Every structure is written in structure tokens, then in C-alpha cells.
Structure 1
Amino acid sequence: MEFCDNCGTLVPAGREIGECEQCGAELDLTDKKPPQTDGGATTPTPSTKLEELPTTSSGSVKKEDAMEWLENRERPSSAELRQAVLEKPNDFTGSTFPTDISTVRLTGDPQFIETVAGLFTWIVGMEDYSRRVEINLKETEDKETGEQTGNYALYLSVAERG
């Protein structure tokens, strides 16, 4: 998938040169290189600072390193946000947890959820003819008693339309 570098809109498959249908910016995707392959398997190369962080034997990043990484994040542009989302394929079943499908999960009291959810309003704009936004917002339940907790969970993701 390719996106307009200016506005983040999905570029129709096969289009390499022209104008973005959304913002009119010039498109030139001919310089974008496919991932290197090694005998048919993609060779992963770290492309983010996150992938370069040292981990413990259990796979966790130490708090000091994680805090420094978080502190050094810059606010992404709209285009960068849209380009970062990996959609759930239309025929997908099962848990998304072990996959690279992009999902936002927030849990907490109503004030926290309502405040932080404002950071994700851009996801609503991703819904179009080829994608749909999946949203699940519900009050959480105590697993032991089955009673409502007064806290909420918000799950957001983007999926291909069927």
C-alpha cells in the first residue's frame, strides 16, 4: 500500500505518478523500493528507533530506555499517522495480538478515556470506500464478580472492506 506523502490518503493500486485525488499533491512513487528479499523471505531491517532499543532476556525494554525513547518522539503529521496504520485484512479471523495489525487499546476511568480518545479522532477519517473503522467502546466488567466497574475500554482499528 502506498500513501500520499502530503495528506496520507491511500493511493489507488498501480498508480505511481500523477496527482493525489484528495489534496492534489504531486505523486511520484517510482523511487519507492520494495523490501529486500533473501530466497523468497523478507529480510527484516530495523527501520525505527523502537526496534533498536535493547531488551531484557524476557523481551522487555528497560524503563529508563523506554522513557527516553518516549520523551524523544515527535508529534507525527496526519500523513505519518495514516501511513503507520496496518489494516486488518477482510478475511482475517482470530486474535490480532500476535500480528502486525494496528490496534489502539485504552482502558481507564471515563475522564481518562474521554480525554485521551481525542488524540485518535484522525482514525475516524480513515473510513472510506476501501476501509472501515472498527470501534468497541464499553464499560468494563470485573471478571470475578461479573459486576460493572465504572471504568471503560476503547478499542480502535482499521479493516479492509469486504
Structure 2
Amino acid sequence: MQFCDGCGTLLPAGETGGACPQCSTSTRRPDGTGTGGEDDETRDAEPAPTDLEQLPTTESGSVRKADAVEWLARRDRPSTVEHRRATVEKPSGFSGSTFPTDISTVRLTGDAAFIETAAGLFSWVVGMEDYSRRVEVNLKQVEEKESGERTGNYALYLSVAERG
């Protein structure tokens, strides 16, 4: 995947770099390389291992609470470009569960006050909608499985999908 040098938007398939149609400037060099350093907005084909991947896990794949808390405490607030680079879109025509895939999905569940407060942390997702992708938002009241009655709690699902 290639990203716009100006705003970090995913470029259409087949584009090798530069600016998206919405940006008028490009920071690409004539040889096609980026600006260099940490500001280069193309996602590496072979990304370096993340801190998360380096955490020890139990036999079942869980990270122990102490390790998870320490890892969370070291996280910085990402920039818009970092959000865009890290998001894996749902391919056009995809069906089935996204859970076992690397497709990026946010899922929040809880009462209305929690959902409304926590949703503010993910408002950047809405800004990812453009000519090449759409934002999927599913916000609904949670129902009891057996009775079908609404519980007063909510579920918010957010993801980004390629336009078909």
C-alpha cells in the first residue's frame, strides 16, 4: 500500500507514491523515495516488529496484565498519518468474520455514557473516508440473546473498507 506524502491518505491501487488528487504538493524525490526518516508515509512491505509482538504471552496467547499495563503506559497519542498507515482496510467484496484477519476494526460496548465518551478517542476514523475507501459505522442498542429485549447498553463498531 502507498500513502499520500501530504495527508497520509491511501493512494489508489497501482499508484507508486506522491500526492493524492486532494493534495497539490508532493514530497517524493525524483527517484520515487520518500522524504526519509520517520515522516515517510509509505507502509513498509516488511514492517519492523512492534512492541506488542515482542511481549511475552501465555500458552493460550494472552499477555499478562503487568506486561499489558506497562505496554499501554508507553503508548503515545498517534498522529493522523500514523492512524492511516496502521489501518488495514476491509477488502471490497469481503464477507465473513473480520475477527481472525488483520482487518482493522474498533469495537466498543457499554452504557451510553461510556460509548459517548470513548467514541471521542476514535473520531479520527470518520476522517479516513475519501474517494478510495468508506467508513463503516454500526451503532446499536444491545439486546439480550434469549429474550430479544434491549438492555440499555450500546455497541459501536468502526472499520474502514475499500470502495468497490
Smaller-chain TM-score bracket? 0.7 to 0.9
Query: Tell me, what secondary structure is at the counterpart of 2:28?
Result: strand
Specify which of 123, 128, 131 is matched with residue 130 of structure 2.
Answer: 128
Aligned twin of 2:81: 79
How far apart are the structure 2 equivalents of 1:49 and 1:21?
34
How far apart are the structure 2 equivalents of 1:152 and 1:98?
23
Deviation at 1:123, TM superposition (A): 1.0
Name the amino acid aligned to 2:33: T
Deviation at 1:118, TM superposition (A): 1.0
Structure 1 pair 72–5 and aligned structure 2 pair: CA distance change class (3 A): farther
Unpaired segments ≥5 residues, structure 2 = 35-41
Is residue 4–residue 79 contact of structure 1 (8 Å, CA) maintained in 2?
no
Query: Tell me, what secondary structure is at the counterpart of 1:156?
Result: strand
Structure 1 pair 5–157 and aligned structure 2 pair: CA distance change class (3 A): same
Aligned twin of 2:4: 4
Is residue 126–residue 133 contact of structure 1 (8 Å, CA) maintained in 2?
yes
Is residue 109–residue 154 contact of structure 2 (8 Å, CA) maintained in 1?
yes
How much identity, in percent, do the aligned residues show?
Answer: 67
Deviation at 1:19, TM superposition (A): 4.3
Unpaired segments ≥5 residues, structure 1 = 36-44
TM norm structure 2: 0.83
Name the amino acid aligned to 1:49: D
Deviation at 1:16, TM superposition (A): 4.1
Q: How many residues align?
A: 153
TM norm structure 1: 0.84
How far apart are the structure 2 equivalents of 1:58 and 1:66?
15
Name the amino acid aligned to 2:53: E
More strand by share: 1
